[in-house]
Every structure is written in structure tokens, then in C-alpha cells.
Amino acid sequence: MAVVEAWLNARLVSAIGLADTTSIGAAVIFPLEQRWVGFLVSTGCSVALLLVPPFFLAALLVGFRRVTLTRALVAVGLAIGLLVVVNQMRLAAVVASMQLWGFEVGYQRSHVLIGSAISTIGLIAVAIVFFLLVGRGSRTRRSPGAH
């Protein structure tokens, strides 16, 4: 998964003109101050582990018949897409920070502070969207004359 994420990030960063990036395995590399630098998309930096909770919650909700399989699949699909987008934004912020503040300072600021902020806000947004999708219309409606 990390290799795919590195490839995707290299294409994204190049496409938006942030840097002329390429990927080698799970590494994203680009020229900075007349040398090649980069970062490794490790297991901890990959979106892979973040994909487990939506699948698990959806399986529980379907298993307990709280939501339909279709609704759960839509919610999981959207959550996966949003998680990938959030992680790509975080990785792009690493490149932008390194370009702005240099290799060492840029990596430290983006990886610890900026990246954590992007991830936290993104995860909260994904959780809200997921629960809105699986919760929407799941309650049974009472007929007008029922008490």
C-alpha cells in the first residue's frame, strides 16, 4: 500500500507544480537545493491502518442489522476515498514544507505539527461523514397514529 501511496503522491505533487517528484518503491523524492531529498511512506505514514475502523464498524452495523449492506459499502467506499485524499494532502504538505523551510526543519515541522493537524482534522471529518451516511434514515419511522 505504501508503494501505491508514494506513487500517487509523486504524481499529485508533480501535477500541482509543487515539485518535480518521482517515487522509488515507497519513497517520494525530489530535487531540493541542488540535491535529491525525500521521505519514505512507512507503515505508520500509510493510510492502510486507518482503513480498518470503517470496515470493522460497517461489518458490525451490517451484522447487527442496523444498516443495509449497500449503505455500509457506500459509507466505507467514501471513507476510504476521503482517507486517501487526507493522507495525500498530508504528504504533499511535507514536500511543501521542505521546499519552504529546507529539508530538516521542513520535515520536522510538517511531519510533527502540520501533518498531525491535517490528519486530525481529516479523520474527524471522515468520521462525521461516515456516521452521517450510516445513520441517515436508519431509524424506523412511526406511523402518524402510533404512540
For residue 143, being part of any structural domain is answered with no
| pLDDT for res 135 | 85
pTM for this prediction:
0.85
For residue 29, being part of any structural domain is answered with yes
Q: What is the pLDDT of residues 71-104, one digit of tens each?
A: 999 999 999 999 999 999 999 999 999 999 999 9
| pLDDT for res 44 | 87
Q: How many CB atoms lie within 10 A of CB 38?
A: 23
Of the two residues 58 and 137, the one the predictor is more confident about is 58
For residue 141, being part of any structural domain is answered with no
Report the run of H or E that residue 97 belongs to, with start and end: helix 69-101
For residue 25, being part of any structural domain is answered with yes
How many whole angstroms separate alpha carbon 26 and alpha carbon 45? 11
**pLDDT score of 147 more than 80:** no
For residue 142, being part of any structural domain is answered with no
Residue 117 structural domain: 2-135
For residue 77, being part of any structural domain is answered with yes
- The structural domain count of the chain equals 1
For residue 145, being part of any structural domain is answered with no
Q: What is the pLDDT of residues 12-56, one digit of tens each?
A: 999 999 999 999 999 999 999 999 999 999 988 899 989 999 999
Q: What is the pLDDT of residues 99-138, one digit of tens each?
A: 999 999 999 999 889 999 999 999 999 999 999 999 875 4
For residue 75, being part of any structural domain is answered with yes
Q: Which of the four pLDDT bands, split at 50, 70 and 90, describes residue 142?
A: very low
- Rounded to 5, what percent of the chain is helix, strand, coil? 65, 10, 25
What's the N-to-C CA distance of the chain in angstroms? 52
